[in-house]
Amino acid sequence: MDDTPVVLAEGMHLRFMRKRTWEYVDRLRVTDVVGIVAVTDDDKLILVEQYRPPVDKNVIELPAGLVGDEPGQTGEELLAAACRELQEETGYFAGELSILASGPISAGLSSEVITLILARKLRKLGPGGGVDTEAIQVHEVLLSEVDARLMKWVTEDKLVDLKVYAAQHFALTRDHGDE
């Protein structure tokens, strides 16, 4: 059987592919995706909320973004992208970044792989909110209150990205204080 991927269609940001009988999506001009598990010195997990058209709801998410997606960013490093995205979306600068884990976002739908990055020693430098067409709301939630806040958001008909639960695990089990 031929393993050569076939391009079915290509849009501005996505390429629709088929390999054997499987159809999936590739993102164009992107090398990786980063999700940031940002924990403040006073034990708050930084989350973001934004409206997502594919699900037609507000979604509670990790600060995250694409690596190498802007002109001049070819070859951008994961940690540099994480630092940039964290600051754009939340207004926080991370004094320390470390890689936690990598894996597929939705292995049956997309070729994307996300790397979760732990961000510590945070300093608030601005309001965040994203760039251009983004309308991101920033939430700072005490680690001890994350479960209750997530349940409250669900009752408000918001969706919680499953990566938030992974972030909660990492935030609670990794040393995030001064070393």
pLDDT given for residue 130 in this prediction: 83
Same domain, 22 and 105: no
The Cα 144–Cα 115 span in angstroms is 25
Same domain, 124 and 86: yes
Same domain, 25 and 42: no
pLDDT given for residue 41 in this prediction: 96
Same domain, 10 and 40: no
For residue 179, pLDDT beyond 50: no
In a domain, 131, yes or no: yes
3-state SS, residue 114: strand
Average confidence (pLDDT) over 78-100: 96
In a domain, 178, yes or no: no
Q: How many domains does the chain have?
A: 2
Same domain, 19 and 58: no
For residue 176, pLDDT beyond 60: no
Same domain, 78 and 115: yes
The Cα 16–Cα 32 span in angstroms is 18
pLDDT given for residue 48 in this prediction: 98
Choose between 179 and 31: higher pLDDT.
31
Same domain, 7 and 76: no
Given a contact cutoff of 8 angstroms between Cβ atoms, the answer to whether 60 and 164 are in contact is: yes
Q: What is the pLDDT of residues 38-50, one digit of tens each?
A: 999 999 999 999 9
**What's CA 67's distance to the chain center, in Å?**
11
3-state SS, residue 140: strand
3-state SS, residue 161: coil
Q: Which residues make Cβ contacts (< 8 Å) with residue 68, sequence separation at least 6? A: 29, 30, 31, 32, 74, 75, 76, 81
Given a contact cutoff of 8 angstroms between Cβ atoms, the answer to whether 138 and 92 are in contact is: no
pLDDT given for residue 175 in this prediction: 58
In a domain, 179, yes or no: no
Q: What is the pLDDT of residues 107-142, one digit of tens each?
A: 999 999 999 999 999 999 998 988 888 899 999 999
Same domain, 8 and 35: no
- Supply the CATH number for residue 40's domain: 3.90.79.10
For residue 177, pLDDT beyond 70: no
Instruction: Pick the closest to residue 67 from 42, 38, 99, 91 (CA basis).
Output: 99
Average confidence (pLDDT) over 44-70: 94
Same domain, 74 and 139: yes
In a domain, 6, yes or no: yes
Same domain, 44 and 131: yes
> Could you tell me the CA-to-CA distances from 41 to 1, 8, 143, 160, 178 in Å, in that order?
54, 48, 11, 24, 8
- Full residue range of the structural domain in which residue 96 is found: 31-173
Same domain, 59 and 147: yes
pTM above 0.85, yes or no: yes
Question: Concatenated DSSP letters for 72-104?
Answer: T-TT--HHHHHHHHHHHHHSEEEEEEEEEEEEE
In a domain, 159, yes or no: yes
Same domain, 90 and 50: yes
- Average pLDDT over all residues of the chain: 92
Average confidence (pLDDT) over 145-165: 97
For residue 72, pLDDT beyond 80: no
Choose between 49 and 30: higher pLDDT.
49
